Amino acid sequence: MKKLVIVLLLLLAYLLYKLLFGEGSVQDVWELHQEVEYQRQQNVELRERNAALEAEVRDLQQGLDAIEEHAREDLGMVKEGETFYQVVE
Q: Is the pLDDT of residue 86 over 90?
A: no
Q: Is the pLDDT of residue 39 over 80?
A: yes
Report whether 7 contacts 13 (CB < 8 A): no
Asked if the structure places residue 60 within a domain, the reply is: yes
pLDDT at 9: 92
Q: Is the pLDDT of residue 73 over 90?
A: no
Closest CA to 58 of 66, 46, 70, 68: 66
Helical (H) or strand (E) element with 69: helix 64-75
Higher pLDDT, 1 or 48: 48
Asked if the structure places residue 36 within a domain, the reply is: yes
Structural domain including 69 reads 23-75
Higher pLDDT, 82 or 7: 7
Asked if the structure places residue 49 within a domain, the reply is: yes
Helix or strand or coil: residue 17?
helix
Q: Is the pLDDT of residue 60 over 80?
A: no
Asked if the structure places residue 12 within a domain, the reply is: no
Closest CA to 27 of 18, 39, 15: 18
Q: How many domains would you assign to the chain?
A: 1
Higher pLDDT, 83 or 35: 35
Tell me the average pLDDT across 61-67. 79
* pTM of the predicted structure, to 2 decimals: 0.51
